[in-house]
Structure 1
Amino acid sequence: MTDAARGHSTATLFEASAGAAHACDPGLRPSWQGARVAGPAFTVQGIGGDNLALHRAVAAAPAGSVLVVDLQGARHGHLGEILAVAAQQRGILGLVVDGGVRDTAEQAELDFPVFARHITVVGTGKDHPGTFDVPVRVGGVVVRPGDLVVGDADGVVVLRAEAVAETLDRSDERVAAEQRALAAIRGGVTTLEYYRLGSGSTP
């Protein structure tokens, strides 16, 4: 569906989307440096402080999907090393969770990308089964099943499934334009000159 979003950054996708992409709030951050994920959302509605829904989602989600989980921003370690390994074995690409996680060093060693609101050692219960494949709110953004989710060092963006192909094409064009700009600037042209910013413009 996405070819890993063609390698585009969250910033490029957001700027090229013509309003079809939505940026999750900056509280959702990569749990380890260098984490990056891109893929269709498998949505999970759970209860903060309980991770039974995540255990069930790992068993149910199709390979090639990204778990996108609403846990109400709860300050609990809903996913750790064991669930990360289990998710990788199932072919799940990564996790975006409005809640907390733990074992971030192990996630980095596994190269399993996780984006979360908190990093914490606080444990969880296992009582609430959760609901799958329903719209969820994560980072202030409503995510529908199958929406494209992309996370990198700058944050997380969500792109409506029906707008993916067009946005990726525009992103390709935007990157090409930026490369032309960079070549000119490295050749000595100022940004004021290249972008024709008038002297009366506010910096």
Structure 2
Amino acid sequence: MTVKTADLYDDLGEDIQSLSLQMQNLGGIEAFEGPLRTVRCFEDNALLKSVLSEPGEGQVLVVDAGHSLKRAVMGDMIAELARGNGWAGVVIFGAIRDREEIARTAIGVKALGSNPRKSTKTGEGERDVTLTVDDVVFAPGKRLYSDADGILVER
């Protein structure tokens, strides 16, 4: 990513949304951007894995995992799958596992935290729906920018 979020916000001001929720940088790439896609799943990663199995073409997957830290919805194998399929990054409002391995994977990952406990695999959830987190609207197709300073999403 060549543009810094602070500079982008200085240029656009309130014409861009800024997520105030503090997310942890956990992937091997700290700064990433791209058109966003969404998944809503709670403590279950089957749908998330299915979406990340598709060609990413530089997109960012935003995952509403219900802010749950009880089960990780992504581990090292799914992070590597996403990297291999060309996803720019994954933003998870929930937990990951395999932090050390994900930190060595060349993909952007932000999450609330980590937990070694596995997710369920029922396939419950929704994809490509509009999500609202912390008053920021994550609509499929909108551009997301992420770096060490935070996350911005176009209106």
Count of aligned positions: 154
The TM-score, its normalising length taken from structure 2, stands at 0.89
CA distance in 1: counterparts of 2:28 and 2:45, whole angstroms? 24
The TM-score, its normalising length taken from structure 1, stands at 0.69
CA distance in 1: counterparts of 2:38 and 2:55, whole angstroms? 9
Q: Say whether residues 1:67 and 2:64 are aligned partners.
A: no
Q: Which residue of 2 aligns with 1:145?
A: 140
Alignment of 1:17-96 (within 5 A): 17-32=12-27, 35-47=30-42, 49-60=43-54, 62-75=56-69, 76-96=71-91
Greater strand share, 1 or 2?
2
CA distance in 2: counterparts of 1:50 and 1:93, whole angstroms? 22
Quote how far apart the aligned CAs of 1:34 are. Answer: 5.7
Gaps of 5+ in 1: 161-203
- Of structures 1 and 2, the one with the larger relative CO (CA 8 A, separation 6+) is 2
Quote how far apart the aligned CAs of 1:137 are. Answer: 2.3
Q: Which residue of 2 aligns with 1:124?
A: 119
Gaps of 5+ in 2: none
Q: Which residue of 2 aligns with 1:112?
A: 107
Secondary structure in structure 2 of the residue aligned to 1:53: helix
Greater helix share, 1 or 2?
1
Quote how far apart the aligned CAs of 1:130 are. Answer: 2.0
Q: What is the aligned-residue identity percentage?
A: 29
Alignment of 1:154-165 (within 5 A): 154-160=149-155
